């Protein structure tokens, strides 16, 4: 049992901004019991407390681990730069916020890896913990360092730094990892490779050091990857992701944390389903979380009732990739805002991901009985042609009907999310964004002179395990050209605003998301040069990334802007997200031919591979399919289910 670092930390807190980030003590926090032989986990979110605290994945695992007899779990978040400077000056290591235990004393440090731009923060946290940043330099006295989250579906750029990563749902993985680590600890073994090799046999666990990459030989330019080969015969050639078949078995978090300070999404969150079959071709989250698994509506109601009564929250977010697709949505929303039924007082409901169609108007009407905020829709592209390419099959009529519904019900602000830099995109498609926005303002003005429409534009990043994984990303210059073209058009309409994401950050995200192990030294160099908090516009520095790529002799064109061939071996081909590669390839060809693909709930199965082995029967619904594609925050949902409309507006956004 180690001692708390609180006495050393407390004097430093008076010198830093937002000391409440580091004190813990939230309602719902768990005081862990360190009995003999338990495996201790430090669940770490590699960004600030206010972004990490609401993360549902981390809170779920925190509870599940602490309910076990053989494990305990605490939490940690990346210290902001002011506290980090104090910690380094006073030799204070990374600590948990629950008991302020040194990170180095935990058996396992596990990171939530929701986006690529946090990679340098991961290295910083490992270093602050007093642990060697490279896995090969660690011995049996060091914690076992791992990660989970959507970015682990191509963990290769971070392969040198992680002992293991979890693919897919974590609920069962953490139990299996605990059992293996406990057996290793109990055996008294000092052979670290032994425990890692054992972990590599757990479904959903990938141990990078158990695989050797090979590259093309005799190539003068940058050679391509040709294979990832297991080093031992008992290590799987392909690592399958882990999927929880029935969400009803996992009603977590049961005791959502209530922070003492302001955080993003400061509300009760209840996950209503995982997976999405709408098939938006840009959306990694929709692809890698298949198959769809709904939580029973009665359980959702119970979780809301218990959560509201315990936490005192007066806002509930129903989270998923496309919440309006939840079959119990109307009943759950009605029950929640009907105080007599729920007995929870005046509670409002927010749906972070709304589909764009007439059905949404019904939901908006229900929500209006609670408090209202701005409504957000994500058509993602400005023309029908472009929306067919990306398989976001929303017609203009769908969008206008939804926007009309919102304004007619009394909303005054509407946000529309779009991507630019999509495959086959022309200037006509880009300018179509302004035209959609202009017409939405026109609709709003029928109801109020204060009607305001904001188009928010992000640069498209082709992601692993999507049909667009073969596409060469637009350059920074091309994205800037499109954004300025659009900005000039948007300025012509009063009541229409535009925000956009910095194309330089889009470039770095794109380079990392499809990279291989050769990018490890690049990430390390950027971190050593002080490049942390790269998701934050005030800290993001593209020059550090350019310099590190140049120093490593790696061409940006090869990793970011190059179109891939059909038979290209991807750095993630030895990992299986459940999707057949040939399904993705054919979907890519359909995209180029502007052919949309209906949601498989309304059609025969396309055999994408996701349902295989889960006993999930494919049911062709008898009702008429609702029009419209899944809404959500599109590509940005790849950063996590509950993420964020507001969070997205934080880093690297400019306003015209
Ligand atoms: S396997 Fe068939 S039913 Fe299941 S998600 Fe894929 S296309 Fe849909």
Candidate of 241, 276, 277 to mutate for ligand 1, largest count of ligand atoms within 8 Å of Cβ: 277
Q: Tens digits of per-residue pLDDT, 117-128?
A: 999 999 999 999
Q: What's the CA-to-centroid distance between 567 and ligand 1, angstroms?
A: 24
Q: Tens digits of per-residue pLDDT, 372-413?
A: 667 888 999 999 999 999 999 999 998 998 899 888 888 899
605 lines ligand 1 (CB under 6 A): yes
Which range has highest mean pLDDT (216-220, 365-369, 519-523)? 519-523
291 lines ligand 1 (CB under 6 A): yes
Burial 489-515 (b: 16+ CB within 10 A, else e): bbeebebbbbbbbbbbbbbbbbbbbbb
606 lines ligand 1 (CB under 6 A): yes
Domains and CATH numbers, the chain: 6-211 (3.40.50.280), 247-514+570-655 (3.80.30.20)
Q: What's the CA-to-centroid distance between 598 and ligand 1, angstroms?
A: 11
pLDDT at residue 537 is higher than 80: yes
Write out the two tokens for 576: 């299986």
Handedness of CA 216, 222, 224, 227 (dihedral sign): positive
Q: What's the CA-to-centroid distance between 415 and ligand 1, angstroms?
A: 31
621 lines ligand 1 (CB under 6 A): no
Q: Whose CA is nearest to atom 8 of ligand 1?
A: 600
The full DSSP string for 278-315 is S--TT-HHHHHTPSPEEPPHHHHHHHHHHHHHHH--SE
578 lines ligand 1 (CB under 6 A): no
pLDDT of residue 410: 84
Write out the two tokens for 155: 């963990």
287 lines ligand 1 (CB under 6 A): no
Q: Tens digits of per-residue pLDDT, 54-105?
A: 999 999 999 999 999 999 999 999 999 999 999 999 999 999 999 999 999 9
* Cβ partners under 8 Å of residue 317, min gap 6: 265, 267, 268, 269, 270, 349, 350, 351, 352, 642
pLDDT bin (cut points 50, 70, 90) of residue 21 is: very high
Helix (H/G/I), strand (E/B), else coil: 164: strand
pLDDT of residue 408: 87
Would you give the distance in Å from CA 414 to the centre of its chain? 24
Provide the 8-state DSSP code for 102: B
pLDDT at residue 620 is higher than 80: no
pLDDT at residue 366 is higher than 80: no
Q: Tens digits of per-residue pLDDT, 212-244?
A: 999 999 988 999 999 999 999 999 999 999 999
pLDDT of residue 359: 57
pLDDT of residue 374: 73
pLDDT of residue 615: 63
What atom in ligand 1 is closest to the CA of residue 616? 4
pLDDT bin (cut points 50, 70, 90) of residue 173 is: very high
> Mean pLDDT across the stretch 192-203?
98
pLDDT of residue 3: 87
How many whole angstroms separate alpha carbon 601 and alpha carbon 579?
17
CA distances from 94 to 87, 114, 122 (A): 8, 20, 12
Q: What's the CA-to-centroid distance between 237 and ligand 1, angstroms?
A: 24
pLDDT of residue 357: 60
For tokens 């709003």, the residue is: 444
290 lines ligand 1 (CB under 6 A): yes
Q: Tens digits of per-residue pLDDT, 595-613?
A: 999 999 888 899 999 998 7
Share of the chain above pLDDT 70, in %: 89
- CB 313 within 8 Å of CB 258: yes
310 lines ligand 1 (CB under 6 A): no
pLDDT of residue 354: 64
400 lines ligand 1 (CB under 6 A): no
611 lines ligand 1 (CB under 6 A): yes
Q: What's the CA-to-centroid distance between 321 and ligand 1, angstroms?
A: 16
Q: Tens digits of per-residue pLDDT, 262-319?
A: 999 899 999 999 999 999 999 999 999 999 999 999 999 999 999 999 999 999 999 9
pLDDT at residue 444 is higher than 70: yes
Candidate of 283, 610, 619 to mutate for ligand 1, largest count of ligand atoms within 8 Å of Cβ: 610
pLDDT of residue 602: 82
- CB 12 within 8 Å of CB 92: yes
pLDDT of residue 338: 78
pLDDT of residue 624: 47
How many whole angstroms separate alpha carbon 246 and alpha carbon 252?
13
pLDDT bin (cut points 50, 70, 90) of residue 643 is: very low
Helix (H/G/I), strand (E/B), else coil: 345: coil
Candidate of 576, 607, 621 to mutate for ligand 1, largest count of ligand atoms within 8 Å of Cβ: 607
Candidate of 273, 606, 613, 617 to mutate for ligand 1, largest count of ligand atoms within 8 Å of Cβ: 606
How many whole angstroms separate alpha carbon 407 and alpha carbon 395?
19
Helix (H/G/I), strand (E/B), else coil: 572: coil
pLDDT at residue 481 is higher than 70: yes
Max distance between CA atoms of the chain, in angstroms, equals 74
How many whole angstroms separate alpha carbon 33 and alpha carbon 571?
41
610 lines ligand 1 (CB under 6 A): yes
Q: Whose CA is nearest to atom 6 of ligand 1?
A: 608
How many whole angstroms separate alpha carbon 69 and alpha carbon 494?
61
In terms of Cα–Cα distance, which of 164, 171, 56 is closest to 114? 56
pLDDT of residue 652: 26
CA distances from 625 to 20, 287, 359, 600, 607 (A): 48, 20, 11, 10, 20
243 lines ligand 1 (CB under 6 A): no
Q: Tens digits of per-residue pLDDT, 451-468?
A: 999 999 999 999 999 999
pLDDT bin (cut points 50, 70, 90) of residue 144 is: very high
How many whole angstroms separate alpha carbon 519 and alpha carbon 512?
7
pLDDT at residue 648 is higher than 80: no
How many whole angstroms separate alpha carbon 447 and alpha carbon 413?
12
What atom in ligand 1 is closest to the CA of residue 275? 5
pLDDT bin (cut points 50, 70, 90) of residue 362 is: low
Backbone conformation region of residue 245, classed left if phi is above 0, alpha if psi is from -120 to 50, else beta: alpha
Q: What's the CA-to-centroid distance between 640 and ligand 1, angstroms?
A: 22
In terms of Cα–Cα distance, which of 335, 374, 370, 340 is closest to 354? 374
Backbone conformation region of residue 567, classed left if phi is above 0, alpha if psi is from -120 to 50, else beta: alpha
For tokens 């939840």, the residue is: 326
pLDDT bin (cut points 50, 70, 90) of residue 614 is: low
What atom in ligand 1 is closest to the CA of residue 608? 6
Q: What's the CA-to-centroid distance between 618 and ligand 1, angstroms?
A: 7
Candidate of 600, 601, 614 to mutate for ligand 1, largest count of ligand atoms within 8 Å of Cβ: 600
Q: Whose CA is nearest to atom 4 of ligand 1?
A: 611
> Mean pLDDT across the stretch 182-204?
98
């Amino acid at each position: 049992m180690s001692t708390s670092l609180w006495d050393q930390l407390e004097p430093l807190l008076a010198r830093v901004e937002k000391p409440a980030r580091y004190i813990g003590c939230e309602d719902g926090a768990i005081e862990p019991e360190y009995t003999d032989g338990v495996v201790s986990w430090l669940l770490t979110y590699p960004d600030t407390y206010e972004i990490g605290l609401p993360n549902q994945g981390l809170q779920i695992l925190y509870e599940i681990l602490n309910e076990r007899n053989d494990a305990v779990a605490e939490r940690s978040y990346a210290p902001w730069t002011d506290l980090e400077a104090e910690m380094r000056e006073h030799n204070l290591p990374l600590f948990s916020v629950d008991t302020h235990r040194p990170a180095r004393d935990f058996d396992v440090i596990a990171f939530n890896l929701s986006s690529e731009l946090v990679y340098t923060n991961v290295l910083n946290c490992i270093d602050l913990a007093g642990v060697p940043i490279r896995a090969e330099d660690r011995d049996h006295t060091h914690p076992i360092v791992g990660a989970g989250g959507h970015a682990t579906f191509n963990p290769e750029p971070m392969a040198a730094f992680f002992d293991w990563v979890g693919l897919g749902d974590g609920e069962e993985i953490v139990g299996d990892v605990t059992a293996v680590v406990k057996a290793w600890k109990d055996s008294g073994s000092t052979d670290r490779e032994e425990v890692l090799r054992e972990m590599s046999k757990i479904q959903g666990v990938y141990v990078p050091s158990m695989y050797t990459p090979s590259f093309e030989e005799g190539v003068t330019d940058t050679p391509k990857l040709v294979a990832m080969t297991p080093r031992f015969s008992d290590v799987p050639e392909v690592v399958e992701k882990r999927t929880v078949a029935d969400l009803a078995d996992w009603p977590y978090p049961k005791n959502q944390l209530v922070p003492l300070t302001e955080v993003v999404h400061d509300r009760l969150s209840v996950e209503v389903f995982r997976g999405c079959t709408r098939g938006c071709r840009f959306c990694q989250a929709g692809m890698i979380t298949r198959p769809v698994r709904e939580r029973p509506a009665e359980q959702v109601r119970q979780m809301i009732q218990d959560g509201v009564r315990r936490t005192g929250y007066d806002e509930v977010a129903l989270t998923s990739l496309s919440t309006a697709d939840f079959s119990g949505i109307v009943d759950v929303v009605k029950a929640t805002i009907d105080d007599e039924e729920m007995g929870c007082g005046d509670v409002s409901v927010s749906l972070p991901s709304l589909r764009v169609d007439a059905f949404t108007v019904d939901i908006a009407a229900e929500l209006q009985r609670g408090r209202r905020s701005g409504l957000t829709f994500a058509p993602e592209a400005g023309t029908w042609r472009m929306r067919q390419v990306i398989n976001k099959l929303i017609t203009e009529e769908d969008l206008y009907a939804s926007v009309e519904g919102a304004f007619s019900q009394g909303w005054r602000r509407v946000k529309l999310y779009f991507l630019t830099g999509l495959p086959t995109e022309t200037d006509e498609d880009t300018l179509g964004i302004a035209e959609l926005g202009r017409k939405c303002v026109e609709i709003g003005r029928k109801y109020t002179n204060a009607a305001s429409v904001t188009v928010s534009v992000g640069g498209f990043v082709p992601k692993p395990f999507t049909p667009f994984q073969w596409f060469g990303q637009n350059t920074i210059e091309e994205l800037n050209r499109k954004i300025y073209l659009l900005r000039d058009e948007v300025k012509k309409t009063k009541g229409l605003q535009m925000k956009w994401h910095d194309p330089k950050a889009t470039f770095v995200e794109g380079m990392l998301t499809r990279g291989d192990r050769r990018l490890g030294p690049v990430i390390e160099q950027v971190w050593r040069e002080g490049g942390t908090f790269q998701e934050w516009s005030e800290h993001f520095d593209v020059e550090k990334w350019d310099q590190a790529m140049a120093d490593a002799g790696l061409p940006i064109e090869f990793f970011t802007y190059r179109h891939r061939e059909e038979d290209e071996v991807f750095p993630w081909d030895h990992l299986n997200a459940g999707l057949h590669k040939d399904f993705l390839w054919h979907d890519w060809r359909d995209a180029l031919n502007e052919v949309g693909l209906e949601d498989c709930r309304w059609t025969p199965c396309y055999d994408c591979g996701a349902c295989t082995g889960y006993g999930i029967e494919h049911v062709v619904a008898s009702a008429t399919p609702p029009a419209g594609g899944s809404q959500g925050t599109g590509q940005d949902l790849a950063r996590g289910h509950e993420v964020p409309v507001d969070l997205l507006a934080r880093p690297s956004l400019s306003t015209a």
